[in-house]
A and B are shown apart, each in its own frame.
Chain A
C-alpha cells in the first residue's frame, strides 16, 4: 500500500513522542532510583538501598497496601454502579438512551478539582450531608468519618471513575447481537440465565477494561487523598509527592514510582491477556 520510505517517515513522530515523553522519563526515573541522598544532596552513588527501604520499612508497605485496598474498593464500587447502568442503557433505555448517555458523560467535562471541592462541601462536619442528618435528628452531632478518611477517598474516586468503567462495558454490551439474547430465550433461558450465560461472558472484555481503568487510575491518584483523604487516607502517590517535595529524597521517591510502575504494567499485561481470552468473533 504505502512505500517503505513513507512508512519510515510516518513512524518518526510517534517514535519520537514515545521516546521523549515516555521512555526517557522512565529511564531517568530508574537511574534516579539507584542514587542516594547524603547531607541533603543527591549523590550519584549506585546502590539498591532505596529498594531495600521500600521492602523493609513497614510504613511504605502499609501505605501501598492501603492504596491497593482503596483502588480495589473503587474498582468494585464503580463496577457495581457502572455495570447495571450500562446494562440498563444498552438493553432497556429505549428512546431515553441518548439523553442518559450524555448525563453519564457530562461529569467528565467538569474539572476534577471542582468535583473534589464539591465532595468536601458535602462531606464536611458542617457539610450538606451532616446538615441533613442533623436536621432530621438522625444524628446529634456531626459525623466525623465522612470527610478525611479512606471512605471519602473511595467515594470521590468512585464518583470520578464510574464513567470510565461505564464506557467500555456499555460499548461491549452494545456490541452483543440482540439475536443471541433471543436465541438464549428461545432455548428456555429466563432473564437471569440469559444474563449469566450469554450477556456477562460476552461483556467480559469491556468489564475487564473498565476494571483496569478504575484500578490503575485510582492506584496513582494523589488529588483525592490530598483533598478528602486526611492522614488516614494517604495513598502511595502522596508519599511520592512528599518525597519529591518537602522531604527532598528523589531517589527513594523514584524507587517507589518504579515500584508502582511495575505493578501497573503487570496489571495492564494481565488484563490484556484476560481480555484476549474472553474476546470472540
Chain B
C-alpha cells in the first residue's frame, strides 16, 4: 500500500493492504444528499458487499468508483493513485452491470474481446485470453451466439467474462444476480464466490438482498440513507449489530425497547439484572436465541417468560412462532421443526443473546 504522505489513509483495514480508499465522499443530486461523507477501505482480494435498501446510495457509490459520476466532495484512491479525477476508461476497474449491458451487435466472443481490442492488445493474445475468460464462466460453447440468443444466466456469465478478461484490480458488481430466478441465483452465488476465491480479484458487490450479502461477503458495508450504518464481517454484523436498523435489516430480530433502572433492565414483560447506567435502552434478540423451556428450570444468566402462541409458521427445518408475552410484548421465536403447538409455554433465552443496540 503506497498512499502518498500528503494523503494518509483516514481509516485502515485490519491487514492494512487497502486496494481502494474512499475518503469522505459525498454526492449531491441537486438538493438531494445521496451520499454523506462516506469513508471506506477495501482490502486487496476482499469480497466486500455494499448492502442497502433501494435509494440508500449503494449504486451511486459504485458509479462514483467506476467513474460514471463525479463526487461532490471527497476523494477516491486506488493503490496510491487518485481515481476520482480519471475518466472511466482510464480506471483499472471493471463493472458487471445490473442488466448486463452486453453489446447487442456483437457475439459473446466479441463482447468479451471488446476491452482487449480497444486497448490494442495483439490479436494473438486476445483469442487466448478470451477463451480463458469464457472458460472461467463455462461459456466456451456459446462464443458465437449473439446476446439476444442467450438466457439471462448465460448473459450474466458473458458479462462477468467481459469484465474479468481485462484482469481488473477491482471488479464492481451492480446487483448482478437480481434479474435471475431464485434457483439460478443460488447457483450463481456459489459460482461467483468460488470464482472470486480462485482468481483472487477484489470484488465490490452491490445488493439489496441481505441473505446474498451474508453468503458471499468477507465484509458487509451497510448503507442507510446515504451514510454507512455499519461495516463488519457477516458473522459479526449478525451477532453484534450496532444499531436497531442493522439488527432488523440483517436477518430477523426482536427489538426489545425498555429502560434500565437500578441495575434492572425492563422490556415489557421481560426483566433481568444489568449493571449499566439508568436510561432508555434497546436490545436485539434473534428469534433462534429463544427456546421453549420444557422443564421450567433456568440458569442464573438466563431469562424466562410465559407466553401464548398466537401463530406458527412452518418453514421446513424450523418453525417461526409469534408469542404473546403479555403487556403488548410479542416475541418471534425460531425453533427446530416440532409439529403443531398451541397454548401457553415457557420460553427462555440467555442474557448474552440480548445485544444492546443504538437507535
A188, B103: Cβ atoms under 8 Å?
Answer: no
Partner of B89, one of A188, A198, A201, A202: A188
Q: How far is the CA of A198 from the CA of B111 in the complex (A)?
A: 11
* Interface-side segment among A17-25, A177-185, A234-242: A177-185
If the complex has contacts A197-B114, A280-B148, are A183 and B103 also in contact, measured as CB distance less than 8 A? yes
If the complex has contacts A182-B68, A280-B148, are A177 and B105 also in contact, measured as CB distance less than 8 A? no
- Looking at A177, A183, A185, A187, which has the most chain B CB atoms within 10 Å of its CB? A187
B88, A201: Cβ atoms under 8 Å?
Answer: no
Q: How far is the CA of A184 from the CA of B105 in the complex (A)?
A: 13
* Smallest CB gap from A204: residue in B: B105
Partner of A179, one of B88, B94, B101, B114: B101
| Known A186-B95, A280-B104; further 7 A-B contacts with Cβ < 8 A | A180-B104, A183-B101, A184-B114, A186-B163, A187-B114, A190-B118, A280-B146
In this assembly, does A281 line the interface, its C-beta being within 8 Å of a C-beta of chain B? yes
Query: Of residues 166 to 205 in A, which have CB atoms within 8 Å of B's CB atoms?
Result: 177, 179-180, 182-190, 193, 197-198, 201-202
In this assembly, does B115 line the interface, its C-beta being within 8 Å of a C-beta of chain A? yes
Minimum distance in angstroms from B155 CB to a CB of chain A: 12
Minimum distance in angstroms from A211 CB to a CB of chain B: 18
Partner of A193, one of B88, B90, B118, B166: B118
Minimum distance in angstroms from B85 CB to a CB of chain A: 15
A185, B88: Cβ atoms under 8 Å?
Answer: yes
Q: How far is the CA of A185 from the CA of B104 in the complex (A)?
A: 16
In this assembly, does A278 line the interface, its C-beta being within 8 Å of a C-beta of chain B? yes
Q: How far is the CA of A128 from the CA of B139 in the complex (A)?
A: 66
* Smallest CB gap from A278: residue in B: B105
* 29 A-B contact pairs sorted by A residue (CB < 8 Å): A179-B97, A183-B95, A183-B102, A185-B67, A185-B88, A186-B66, A186-B67, A186-B95, A186-B163, A187-B118, A187-B162, A187-B163, A188-B90, A188-B115, A188-B119, A189-B89, A189-B114, A189-B118, A190-B89, A197-B117, A197-B118, A198-B103, A201-B105, A202-B104, A278-B105, A280-B105, A280-B146, A281-B104, A281-B148
Question: B146 — which chain A residues lie within 8 A by C-beta?
Answer: 280
A182, B105: Cβ atoms under 8 Å?
Answer: no
Question: A202 — which chain B residues lie within 8 A by C-beta?
Answer: 104-105
Q: How far is the CA of A144 from the CA of B115 in the complex (A)?
A: 54
Q: Using a Cβ–Cβ cut-off of 8 Å, how many residues does chain A contribute to the interface with B?
A: 20
Question: A177 — which chain B residues lie within 8 A by C-beta?
Answer: 101
* Smallest CB gap from B148: residue in A: A281
Q: How far is the CA of A197 from the CA of B66 in the complex (A)?
A: 20
* Smallest CB gap from B90: residue in A: A188
Q: How far is the CA of A250 from the CA of B68 in the complex (A)?
A: 64
Minimum distance in angstroms from B31 CB to a CB of chain A: 17
Q: How far is the CA of A193 from the CA of B102 in the complex (A)?
A: 16
Question: B95 — which chain A residues lie within 8 A by C-beta?
Answer: 182-183, 186
B103, A179: Cβ atoms under 8 Å?
Answer: no
Question: A180 — which chain B residues lie within 8 A by C-beta?
Answer: 101, 103-104
